[in-house]
């Protein structure tokens, strides 16, 4: 995929509109995880080194087109200023005459952070006029917000129609290279690890990868949906009923291709979802009535670790159970550690999976960690994204 990159453009003395994904978790106005901010630093530093001044734009949360003070980007400004060791100017809005004047006054090496794009409903609507107003703030456009590239939002898609120079930042470059490696000639055996919920959102990705993968292992609601599709007992486990027809279709395709496909051999089951709940391991792959599956069992862990050891390429999306609750975290943590111990090319996508590798303390041993769960799934399903397409040569 030939994309315009920042190293192929001239930024000396120019204003750059840099779209980033600073959608960070906040608690009482304090950022609890700055991963998305640090991920954009290489692109910001490169642009500054080339003599640019930067207008940075991002969304945060879902304010639904209204000004919600708790979702303001002031804490992001403070964190970014601290990480870069320089003052960051802050605009009270992302469009309007006042903002435009602030952008025009920027000198080489200075940064202006705009207020939350989603305080305007026109951002998510992909409004052309709004996109033009954003484009008027700068001379060049750089996108490094991979996690939002699957949306045709004004600052991601429409804005490029009004800019002469467009390019992707280092983060988008890394993301597309890693995911393209999974689609085009992955080293065999290729292992797909599917967990968590939102089963229906992952079906397209699974279908697209069936010709490429050798082994599939499942956990969480994903596993219970496939187990239900096999007409096995799942007790009171959470399951996505609307995804069962698609799960049955995928099982047929898997059998047709003679792929290795695993649902858990055993489960950790609980009488309720709480840290002090009564729980134990089942001795087989079904769940009795009135019990909830909360993690994969010890036999499943052993079998899944063996699959991981044999793999040369791994894509993992979704935890094996309710790993946020300590007694139900073992399966997910063991999977994370097993992936970290292999020499395989490993990609982890999805917020919960990323949280799991961080919790296991093995994030540094994963080949690539995706910054956008939904975007990575759609990329693996379609081979590109709307926000990537507009950056192609």
Same domain (yes/no): 240, 318: yes
Question: What are the pLDDT digits (tens) for 314-332?
Answer: 999 999 999 999 999 999 9
- pLDDT at site 332: 96
Q: Which of 149, 168, 187 is the last residue of a domain?
A: 168
- pLDDT at site 1: 67
Strand order from edge to edge, sheet including 53-57: 89-90, 111-113, 53-57, 15-19, 140-143, 165-168
Same domain (yes/no): 147, 181: no
Strand partners for 140: 16, 165
**Between vectors from CA 64 to CA 151 and to CA 371, what angle results, nearest 5°?**
40
Same domain (yes/no): 84, 220: no
Is 198 an annotated catalytic residue?
yes
Is 257 an annotated catalytic residue?
no
Is 374 an annotated catalytic residue?
yes
Same domain (yes/no): 26, 109: yes
Asked if residue 118 is part of any domain, the answer here is yes
Is 207 an annotated catalytic residue?
no
Asked if residue 223 is part of any domain, the answer here is yes
Asked if residue 146 is part of any domain, the answer here is yes
pLDDT along the chain (393 residues), means of 10: 94 98 92 91 98 98 96 97 97 98 98 98 98 98 97 98 97 96 95 93 94 96 94 91 94 96 96 94 88 96 98 96 94 97 94 87 94 91 96 95
Dihedral angle sign, alpha carbons of residues 345, 350, 353, 359: positive
Looking at 351, 365, 382, 383, which residue is catalytic? 351
Owning domain of residue 97: 6-168
Looking at 9, 15, 19, 36, which residue is catalytic? 36
- pLDDT at site 382: 94
Cα separation, 101 vs 58, in Å, equals: 19
Looking at 126, 331, 374, 387, which residue is catalytic? 374
Cα separation, 69 vs 335, in Å, equals: 40
- Structural domain count, the chain: 2
Do 353 and 317 form a contact (C-beta atoms < 8 A)? yes
Asked if residue 392 is part of any domain, the answer here is no
- Read off the CATH number of the domain in which 181 is found: 3.40.50.1260
Asked if residue 71 is part of any domain, the answer here is yes
Looking at 174, 198, 228, 330, which residue is catalytic? 198
Cα separation, 197 vs 376, in Å, equals: 16
Same domain (yes/no): 181, 164: no
């Amino acid at each position: 995929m030939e994309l315009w990159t920042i190293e192929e453009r001239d930024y000396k003395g120019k204003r750059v509109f840099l779209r980033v994904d600073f959608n960070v978790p906040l608690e009482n106005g304090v950022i609890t995880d700055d991963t998305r901010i640090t991920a954009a630093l290489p692109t910001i530093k490169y642009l500054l080194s080339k003599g640019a001044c930067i207008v940075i734009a991002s969304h945060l949360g879902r304010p639904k087109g209204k000004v919600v003070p708790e979702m303001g980007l002031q804490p992001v400004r403070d964190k970014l200023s601290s990480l870069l060791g320089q003052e960051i100017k802050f605009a009270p809005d992302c469009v309007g005459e006042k903002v435009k004047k602030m952008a025009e006054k920027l000198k080489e090496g200075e940064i202006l952070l705009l207020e939350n794009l989603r305080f305007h409903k026109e951002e998510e609507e992909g409004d052309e006029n709004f996109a033009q107003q954003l484009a008027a703030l700068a001379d060049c456009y750089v996108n490094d917000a991979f996690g939002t590239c699957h949306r045709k939002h004004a600052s991601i898609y429409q804005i490029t129609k009004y800019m002469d120079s467009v390019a992707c930042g280092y983060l988008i470059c890394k993301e597309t290279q890693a995911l393209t490696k999974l689609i085009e000639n992955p080293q065999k055996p290729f292992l797909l690890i599917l967990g968590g919920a939102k089963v229906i959102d992952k079906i397209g990705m699974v279908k697209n990868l069936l010709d490429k993968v050798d082994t599939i292992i499942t956990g969480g609601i994903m596993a219970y949906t496939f187990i239900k599709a096999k007409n096995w007992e799942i007790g009171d486990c959470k399951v996505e009923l609307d995804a069962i027809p698609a799960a049955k279709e995928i099982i047929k395709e898997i059998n047709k291709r003679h792929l290795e496909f695993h649902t858990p051999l055993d489960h950790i089951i609980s009488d309720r979802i709480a840290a002090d709940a009564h729980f134990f391991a089942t001795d087989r792959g079904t769940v009795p009535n009135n019990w909830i599956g909360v993690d994969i069992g010890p036999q499943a862990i052993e079998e899944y670790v063996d699959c991981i050891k044999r793999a040369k390429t791994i894509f993992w999306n979704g935890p094996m159970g309710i790993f946020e609750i300590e007694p139900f975290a073992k399966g997910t943590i063991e999977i994370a550690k097993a992936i970290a111990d292999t020499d395989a090319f490993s990609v982890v996508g999805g917020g919960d999976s990323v949280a799991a590798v961080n919790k296991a303390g093995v994030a540094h041993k994963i080949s690539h960690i995706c910054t956008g769960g939904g975007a990575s799934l759609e990329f693996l399903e379609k081979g590109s994204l709307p926000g990537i397409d507009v950056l192609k040569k």
